[in-house]
Amino acid sequence: MASTPEGLFLQSGTAYQELDQESYIHVISRDMAAALSDAGAACRPVNLLDPEDVRRIAAAIVSPPDFLLTLNLMPLGFLLNGRHYADLLSCKVFCLCLDSPIRLADLFAPGRFERLHDFYFGVLEDSHRGLLEEHGIAPDRIFPFPHGGPPVDETAPAFFDRTVDIMFSGGIGTAEAPGAFFDRLGIIDPRPRAALGDAAENTLAGAGDAVHCLHEANRAHGLDADAVADPAAVLEEIDAWTRTVRRHRLFATLKDLEIHFYGNFDDSFKRAQPNGVFHEPVSYRRVTELSKNAKITVNDTINLMESALFRFYYALADGCLMATETNPFIAREFEDGVHALHLSAQRGDNAEKITACLNDPGRARTIVEAAQAHYRAHHTWAARMPPLLRCIRA
């Protein structure tokens, strides 16, 4: 490998079928590539919609770069003569996980990748390692790679000058009742239903991630891991269901506030937010522009325990005060009232905490400045690069 490694960052469509320069995939991959280049490994994003980039992608098969970066090994449908593009390159291939491996079962489908066990995996949390090892990924192919964010935008408007008090971006679907959820999955036996119900509630209460909570619930009910058909699929469904329920419960405590919502929202959720201002979905790049005019951004944990999603960091970099659900990581790194406002679906004073900061902009500005100082020192994409760079250079 050359003293200065050179690689490509393969961009792709998102879960929302975006494939343009406005999607979150393109925003974060561009920022990660820039941080990696600054750290000593030249990295160029390549876009499947750009003809010049397509030529680079094709040339890499014959003259491979030192490494290929992907997010979740996307796009999964990128096949040439029946073989996945990542299998055609002789260089190191990296899967930077955007989510828990609970959500990545498609990567491990039989016949999907020929070189799967040669790939490197960057995980958000240490507990995610075991999920990959269960799929046969060697421990030395797994490294820590939590989400991060861009440099602080020093030109963003001051807290006092922003015209939107509170915003949230992201979709919220229907919060199915437990019975309907289990019926949809075809789980009829009362014992597995009871175990899954306990696992869901414990996940929502922050007792652990869905994997840990389901394991503990099965043990408590005297059930094996295979008490339901296709346990991996059920686990993914539990994770998705609890994420939706989590958001419904959190925002139920904020229903008296005027919050600007951007994304797709179920009608039942809209009815439960009588003061909400609902906007059409916008691209993630547009979200980063809107957040520069918002005083406070609401954030949820999506069941993560020892990390935060990139949208938390991007809003913080844009100068928002973060009103956030907590997990052990957020509680430790972003202290309540010092770096953020901590929210909980079990608390009755969430709205009052937010209103108090809106009514005291001097205090709010102090919290934002402290949070940005801590973020700048510890949680940017630049801070995340050393483990990735070590694997590239290994």
Kindly tell me if the per-residue pLDDT of 15 is higher than 70. no
Q: How far apart are the first and last CA of the chain?
A: 9
Kindly tell me if the per-residue pLDDT of 20 is higher than 80. no
The residue written with tokens 């940017």 in the block is 380
**Of the candidate ranges 87-101, 213-227, 261-275, the one whose mean pLDDT is the lowest:** 213-227
Please compute Rg for the chain using Cα positions. Answer: 22
Q: Which two tokens stand for residue 8?
A: 């490509």
pLDDT in tens, 296-344: 999 999 999 999 999 999 999 999 999 999 999 999 999 999 999 999 9
Distance CA 319, CA 290 (A): 11
Distance CA 283, CA 262 (A): 10
Kindly tell me if the per-residue pLDDT of 2 is higher than 70. no
Sheet holding 321-325, edge to edge: 277-279, 260-262, 164-169, 294-299, 321-325, 341-343
3-state DSSP of 297-362:
EEECCCCCCCCCCHHHHHHHHCCCEEEEECCHHHHHHCCECCCEEEECCCCCCHHHHHHHHHCCHH
Name the band, by pLDDT with cuts 50, 70 and 90, for residue 9: very high
pLDDT of 14 reads 52
HSE-CB at 170 with a 13 A cutoff on CA atoms is: 18
pLDDT in tens, 42-70: 999 998 888 899 999 999 999 999 999 99
Share of the chain above pLDDT 70, in %: 97
CB contact at 8 A, 241 and 179: no
Q: What are phi and psi of 37, to 5 degrees?
A: -60, -40
Give the torsion sign (CA, 50, 51, 52, 53). positive
pLDDT in tens, 125-173: 999 999 999 999 999 999 999 999 999 999 999 999 999 999 999 999 9
Mean pLDDT across the chain, nearest whole number?
Answer: 94
Q: Which two tokens stand for residue 244?
A: 């939706």
pLDDT of 264 reads 94
Kindly tell me if the per-residue pLDDT of 93 is higher than 80. yes
CA distances from 194 to 119, 187, 223 (A): 38, 10, 11
CB contact at 8 A, 287 and 169: yes
CB contact at 8 A, 11 and 47: yes
pLDDT of 17 reads 43
Q: What is the DSSP string of 64-114?
A: --SEEEEETT--TT-EETTEEHHHH--SEEEEE-SS-GGG-GGGGSTTS-S
